[in-house]
Amino acid sequence: MEYDNHEHTWRRPSSLKLEQTTCHTTPRRSTTIAVVVLGLAVLSCLLGYCVLSESLPYESKTLRLVIILFRHGARTPVNSYKSDPFKNYQWPDGLGSLTNAGKLQLYELGKKYRNYYANFIPEEYYEKDIYIKSSDKSRCLMSAYTFLAGLYPPSERQLWHPEIPWQPIPVHSLPKHLDDIVAQTKPCKVWKSMYQELLDEKNADPKFAELFDYLSKHTNQSMRSVLDVDFLYSTLLAQQDAGLKLPDWTRNVFPNKMRTPFMLSLALLSYNKTLQRLKVGLTKVDSQK
Ligand SMILES: *[C@@H]1O[C@H](CO)[C@@H](O)[C@H](O)[C@H]1NC(C)=O
Ligand SMILES: *[C@@H]1O[C@H](CO)[C@@H](O)[C@H](O)[C@H]1NC(C)=O
């Protein structure tokens, strides 16, 4: 998949030109897993053979494997900006933490998958049926756990405490510097230099100049990169979600005018075929095992 700059959306490229790169490449044709952004929890259900409920939109009635990718739930802001009126706001759980609303989102998502795959995922948790991977970020691990609380409410037999309708289910993760599967935070020099090149190119796009000026003026700090806009957008969104009243100047640009550079910043991580192969290559290989 490629990010279309004009349409602001993902599309399939018309030609597949494969290249050899040094960090890691996918051995075979791969197009499916492309939109892997930061902070994912990955869940894969490995089950034998099962008949789906009639309502599923597939022609084939044989489902063997389900891979579910999702991000963490709503969180508090990770950082602040110079003129931020909430710079000293005391977030009860600290910066960058999963909020109760975020926990509920993932719990509900787990319940949704439980219903959707009711005939595929056995009611009782059994270790060999499912393997859950998360990045090593606390909010991602916590999201995975709350998702699992929704997916696997304990059966009567598995209930181990009369007052706790929850059962422990393992979530696996690699430390940040080794993670080449989920958050892809393991350093990769080739990827990094290509990413930087693209980032510089996009930041110099005259269409963002006016927005960059406006944001720099009002935040009282340099806002000259789509990455800066990405961080600011996430901060404003988290503050708004928490019911805080954003400063008046944000009304002209948030969320609408900031959305395009924000999305572009996320898209740049796996912007074209080469970056995708370097970044999500192993996710694909790993999930084929
Ligand atoms: C902007 O930054 C300057 C220099 O750091 C400071 O003097 C000024 O008070 C700041 N303005 C706002 C609105 O934060
Ligand atoms: C992807 O972008 C990088 C950086 O601009 C470039 O070096 C690389 O050749 C591009 N790959 C493709 C397939 O366009």
Residue with tokens 């756990």: 145
Which residues partner with 69 through β-bridges? Answer: 42
pLDDT at position 264 is 97
**162-191: b (≥16 Cβ within 10 Å) or e:** eeeeebebebebbeeeebbbbbbbbebeeb
pLDDT at position 160 is 97
Express each pLDDT in 232-282 by its tens digit. 999 999 999 999 999 999 999 999 999 999 999 999 999 999 998 888 766
Is the backbone of residue 121 left (phi > 0), alpha (psi -120 to 50) or beta? beta
pLDDT at position 40 is 43
Express each pLDDT in 59-80 by its tens digit. 656 888 999 999 999 999 999 9
Residue type, 182: V
**Residues with a CB atom less than 6 Å from ligand 1:** 82-83, 220
pLDDT at position 281 is 65
3-state secondary structure of 70: strand
Express each pLDDT in 12-33 by its tens digit. 454 444 444 456 544 433 222 2
The secondary structure of 77-100 as a DSSP string is -S---TT-TTTT---TT-TTPBPH
Q: Given the CA of residue 273, which atom of ligand 2 is nearest to it?
A: 13
247's tokens: 């400063």
The neighbour count for residue 260, using CB atoms within 10 Å, is 16
- Tell whether ligand 2 has an atom less than 6 A from the beta carbon of residue 184: no
Q: Given the CA of residue 19, which atom of ligand 2 is nearest to it?
A: 13
- Crossing angle of helices 138-151 and 100-116, in 10° steps, is 40
